Amino acid sequence: MDSIDHVSTLVRTLLRERSIDPLTEVDAVRALVEQVVDDFLIACADGTPGMPTATPRREDLIDAVGDSVTGFGPLQRYLDDPNIEEIWINHPSRVFVARNGRSELTSTVLTDSGVRDLVERMLSSSGRRLDLSSPFVDAALPDGSRLHVAIPDITRRHWAVNLRKHVCAARELDDLVRLGAMNQQLATFLSAAVVAGLNILVAGATQAGKTTALNALLGAVPASERVVTCEETFELQLADHPDWVAMQTRQAGLEGTGEITLRDLVREALRMRPTRLIVGEVRQQEALDLLVAMNSGMPAMASLHANSAREAVTKLCTLPLLAGANISADFVVPTVAGCVDLVVHLETTASGQRRVSEVAALSGRVENGVIELAPMFVTAGSELVRADGFPPHEHRFVRAGFDLPAILGSARAA
């Protein structure tokens, strides 16, 4: 057993004996760690039998033991690094991080039991389980980070762990302008579109920044509105909004009962008197419930995986068909055309930059089963430029006090 494991074991024993909660009594834990480390170093210096002759620096040992006892051990330094967005483990000796959009292999080496211990500690506050009958888990950590784990025999041999940190670099659309994800004209337009109550779909590939963009759009929702968010795991943050209810799904219990799906959440949200409905990510049949809500006049926003604005619309026309054989494209396609107003598509560039690549408006028209899209902003070279498309429902902008031609210019789609 190395110095860190030895001291960590001593500290945990004393924490149990003294009934100290490592999650809430941080100062008491820190004082105890310092005391045990000092005693340990004195014993090592005196040549006490069984003690190592080579030990880390006092400060390094205190930090490492503190991370082991109150944090997530060797991963804690990556969690504390603001430039790291995600951590994943393919193998105990293959720990990767994503830093500023780029992935890199770290020097961290774990053990199989160490990985399991870390996952169990992460899940301890979530109320979610991981076993042979439920080999996948999605959970939110107390700081808002999202954990996903898959275990054998779903994976070949080792536990596969993904920890997506809650790095909310943008709480408002102006923050996205500052980060280079969009220009000021688009930010001004999207803010007006949110206030005007347009239905907005945020699309993009994995890690393109969809949740961050959706969170920034929510920053433009007027304080007078009641917002209800539905997610698989909590990621959206509207802590400054005065009237916000957040809900997440729940997996089935050991008896196979008690599961709460995203469809359940969307249906329940409509009973909670929302004036704005948000679905964190549309993946399956919940797309039908979202469309029904939009069709009833409920302003809504959602995110969706897609490679372009056109593919996002096509996918939203397909997902509701999973809800049952009685749901047909004859209903879904015109409903999507009439309900969804804007599609904001994001991409990750080769340099790791996350940015808006296009914005398209839906006119409401359908031609031979294909929904008409009007490009509003498109990528030209490395810049996002204004196209000639115009959004639907101009009267809503007028009613909300916005001069749309002044924001976008006078060009209109033919």
Question: 336-366 pLDDT, tens per residue?
Answer: 999 999 999 999 988 888 999 999 999 999 9
Which CATH number is associated with domain 79-166? 3.30.450.380
Give per-residue pLDDT as tens, 17-29: 888 887 678 788 8
* CA 55 and chain centroid, separation: 40
According to the model, what pLDDT value does residue 12 have? 85
Structure tokens at 27: 């100062």
DSSP summary character for residue 342? E
According to the model, what pLDDT value does residue 45 have? 78
**What's the CA gap between 316 and 311, in Å, rounded?**
8
Residue 48 has pLDDT above 80, yes or no: no
pLDDT band at 41; cut points 50, 70, 90: confident
Task: Tell me what the mean pLDDT of segment 393-411 comes to.
Answer: 90
Residue 411 has pLDDT above 60, yes or no: no
Partners of 367 in beta bridges: 370
Structure tokens at 389: 């498309």
Residue 413 has pLDDT above 60, yes or no: no
Residue 222 has pLDDT above 60, yes or no: yes
pLDDT band at 227; cut points 50, 70, 90: very high
| Sign of the torsion formed by the C-alpha atoms of 124, 88, 66 and 237 | negative
User: What mean pLDDT value characterizes the chain?
Assistant: 89
Closest by CA to 356, choosing from 172, 182, 169, is 182
**What's the CA gap between 15 and 28, in Å, rounded?**
9
**What's the CA gap between 102 and 208, in Å, rounded?**
12
Question: Domain limits of the chain?
Answer: 1-70, 79-166, 173-408
Structure tokens at 37: 């480390």
More confident residue, 272 or 166: 272
Helix H or strand E segment including 85? strand 84-91
Q: Pseudo-torsion of CA 370, 374, 379, 380, nearest 10°?
A: 110
Least confident stretch, 14-23, 92-101, 237-246, 307-316: 14-23
Least confident stretch, 161-170, 207-216, 265-274: 161-170
Give domain 173-408's CATH architecture. 3-Layer(aba) Sandwich (3.40)
According to the model, what pLDDT value does residue 185 have? 96
Task: Tell me what the mean pLDDT of segment 173-184 comes to.
Answer: 94
The pTM of the whole model exceeds 0.75: yes
- Tokens 């080999």 correspond to 135
According to the model, what pLDDT value does residue 253 have? 77
Task: Tell me what the mean pLDDT of segment 367-388 comes to.
Answer: 93
- Tokens 């004195």 correspond to 42
End-to-end, the C-alpha distance of the chain in Å comes to: 74
Task: Tell me what the mean pLDDT of segment 295-305 comes to.
Answer: 93
- Count the neighbouring beta carbons within 10 Å of the beta carbon of residue 173: 24
Residue 1 has pLDDT above 50, yes or no: no
More confident residue, 80 or 23: 80
CA distances from 239 to 59, 172, 404 (A): 36, 13, 30
Give per-residue pLDDT as tens, 87-101: 999 999 999 999 877
**What's the CA gap between 77 and 98, in Å, rounded?**
14
| Sign of the torsion formed by the C-alpha atoms of 369, 289, 165 and 238 | positive
According to the model, what pLDDT value does residue 267 have? 93
| Sign of the torsion formed by the C-alpha atoms of 270, 275, 281 and 285 | positive
According to the model, what pLDDT value does residue 162 have? 95
According to the model, what pLDDT value does residue 163 have? 93
Label the pairing between strands 200-204 and 227-231: unpaired
- Which amino acid belongs to residue 288? L
More confident residue, 392 or 46: 392
Structure tokens at 94: 């293959």
Closest by CA to 100, choosing from 354, 307, 347, is 354
Give per-residue pLDDT as tens, 116-158: 988 988 888 777 888 888 899 988 887 778 899 999 989 999 9
Task: Tell me what the mean pLDDT of segment 244-263 comes to.
Answer: 87
Structure tokens at 202: 């945020």
